[in-house]
Structure formats: C-alpha cells, structure tokens
Structure 1
C-alpha cells in the first residue's frame, strides 16, 4: 500500500508582503503563519509524516516550539532559490518509496482543513497521475495593456489552482528534473509538461494564499470562525 506524506516548502521570503520577516513567520493569532499548515497536516491521520523544507540559513524556525508534533514533523534544511528547487530538494531528502504520494502544500495557506486533505486523497484515489485542490474562476478576467483593458477573457473551464497538490514521489521528481528551460510555478504545471492531465478536486475559497498584508486579517477571521 502506498503511503501519504506532506511536504511544505518554506524557504521563500514573501517579498510582496513588504516586510523583512519571511512571510511564513508572520503572526496570526499568536502563532507564525506556517504553524497552521503544519498543524493541519500533522493532525491528519491519513498522512504518515510531514516534511518542512527550510533555507539552510533560516534563523527563525528554532524560535518557536514545535514539540507538539513529535516525530511526525521533520525539518529538511535544503531549500533552494525557487519553489521548484525547494520541492525537488525536499523530495530527494525524503526517505519514501517511489510510488508513495506526496502532498505539497503552501506554508502561506493557513486555512487548510483536514477535510480538504481527505477529499483530495479520496478523489485522486489510486490514479497514476495525481491531482490538486482548485476552485472554478468566478470573477470576470481582464487582459491588460499597461493599465488599460485590452480584452475580456472567457472564464469558462478556468480554475484557480490551490494546494495541496498530490503526486507520486517518483513522477514528481521526474517532472521537476526536466531539462527544458521551463520553470514551473506549481507541481501540477511540471506534471503537465510531462504530458499528463492532473485531476482537479473542487475546494473552496477559504483555502486562499496569503500574499498581501490585508490577507492576514482575512486568514485570522477564517481561523477564528472555524475555531482553529
């Protein structure tokens, strides 16, 4: 039986937040933002272990107490200059089997729930390709030329990718090691470049990515509403 593992790349700086502290360590209700992603994944009985990929120069992680997660949480100080590099390095350092599933999740998505993890695992099932949480695009999309609209894009069949994104360990390693000059912005796009079609698993908008300062307040409100 294949096992399921969590992988949280957290070697970035989050420059769009406009602060010196790496985004994953910004405070939400008394905890660093990454704590909530770690807690949800470590609490899921479906995941055998959760790996966090840090930059080798990270000096913030050890300022916090992570002991509540015990051995289920493992830190890998092998982060790279890009997300793809961090995920690739993390995959190489994980002592797992080729056919095991890896659920890659953003440290900046603190509102993930165990129900979302369970839904992803259930719907992807034993497919050979894998899949990701996503939501259909609801807003009207405008293509810009400078600060002006050049076209309105049809939103039918468009989805907004979220995380976790779940793929088999060996396939994801292969996808991220393609020597074609393509730099994927998420794991699904790397898998797509191999010619595969990942499964879209409907999530909801609460699993959003904290990108700008105002997003912190929204995340805090969602976490308070859900009692987490």
Structure 2
C-alpha cells in the first residue's frame, strides 16, 4: 500500500525577519516554529511519513535539535535545499518511495490543522492537485505604472493560497521534473502543476494558517497561541 508523505520545506533564510537565525528556529511559547509545523503532521494518523528540507549547513542541527529532541519518528529523511524553493521541493520529491499523496508545506506555517491536512489528502485523491487558502479580507486593486488604481478585483473570486499544497505524487513529480528541464521559475507548487495543464482544486484553509515571515508576524503568532492554545 502506498504512503501519504508530508514534505516540510525549511530551507529558506528568511531575510525579511531580520534576525541572525533561520526564522523556523525562532521560538514561540518555548519551542521552535518548525516544531509546531512538523508536530501536526507527525500526530496525524493518515500522514505516514515526513521528509524535511533544510539548508545544507543546518541538516545536523535539525536532526539533533528538532527531529531527535522532539522524537519525530515519522521524519524518515532530511534533504538539502536547493538554490530556489522549487529546487528544494524537487530534491525532496526525488527521495519519496512508494508515495500516494504528497503534502508540501512551509516550515514557517505552524498553525496548520488536522482538518486542513485531511481535506488535502481527500481532494488530492479526488482531483490530483489541490491547495488550501482563504478569501482575502481586503479589497484588492490593480496598480498601474504611474501609481494609480485602474481596476478593482471582485473579492469573492480571489483566493489567497496557503500550504499544504497537496498532489498525487506521480503528477507533481513529473511536473517538477519537466520544470527543471525547462528552467522556468515559479513561486509555489500549484503553479508548477498548472504550468503543465493540470487543474488545482482550491479548498478552505484558515485565517490562522499564517506564514511567519516578518517580525510583525511573530506578534500575531503569539496571539494565535494565546487565543486557541495550540500545542
């Protein structure tokens, strides 16, 4: 029987955080952000295995201070990140064995939930590719070259994509392989799938499922912990 894998990408340096350490290792409520991101997948019964992607010079630290320290037995491999995010993801996809669905998740999103994970697996099995997200709260305008607004977009038609982004393994592996050969740059994995003609189903994420990117996000994250008492 094939396995469901989570690929957790934690190879970025997070320059916008303006701190001397990788943002995934910053502590919230006494534990690193990456701990929380891994923990939910580790505890979920329908996620079988986890592959962690780290910067090459941080692999040993992740192994000792994250995986072993917190007894994350589902983490079967830690692989080195690449030059771009898409390279990091492809490095992970290449080591997955006998995989059914792969959930690709940002290491800096600590508030993913079991419901989001399980919906991702369900819709991947139904449609081949899916991603969670939310309708933006703000009005979105298109800004012209001279600085003036020239169009207001219909908010109900817009969708802020989050992670995990979830796929049939063969589909997303083949797309990443072709992308590497084409030397095209993308910002996320749904774009990889769409670039080669695949449709991506969009399902409900959570406004709490933030990506911690700037110092202001740390304040928001602390408040989310206080309100919802994430473990």
Length-normalised TM-score, structure 2: 0.89
2:105/2:164 contact within 8 Å kept: yes
Distance 1:117 1:78 in 2: 24
| 3-state SS of paired residue (2:111) | coil
Are 1:121 and 2:133 counterparts?
no
Deviates more, 1:166-175 or 1:66-75: 66-75
1:56/1:79 contact within 8 Å kept: yes
| 3-state SS of paired residue (2:88) | helix
Distance 1:158 1:225 in 2: 28
- The 3 A distance-change label for structure 1 pair 70 and 142 is closer
How many residues align? The count is 225
Q: CA deviation at 1:10?
A: 1.0
- For structure 2, the residue ranges without an aligned partner over 5 or more in a row are none
Runs of 4+ aligned structure 1 residues displaced above 6 Å come to none
2:6/2:50 contact within 8 Å kept: yes
Length-normalised TM-score, structure 1: 0.90
Distance 2:121 2:228 in 1: 22
Distance 2:165 2:196 in 1: 16
Q: CA deviation at 1:145?
A: 4.8
Q: Report the RMSD for the aligned CA atoms in angstroms.
A: 2.0
1:42/1:69 contact within 8 Å kept: no
Residue matched to 1:225: 227
Residue matched to 1:16: 16
Q: CA deviation at 1:27?
A: 1.4
Residue matched to 1:175: 175
1:54/1:75 contact within 8 Å kept: no
- For structure 1, the residue ranges without an aligned partner over 5 or more in a row are none
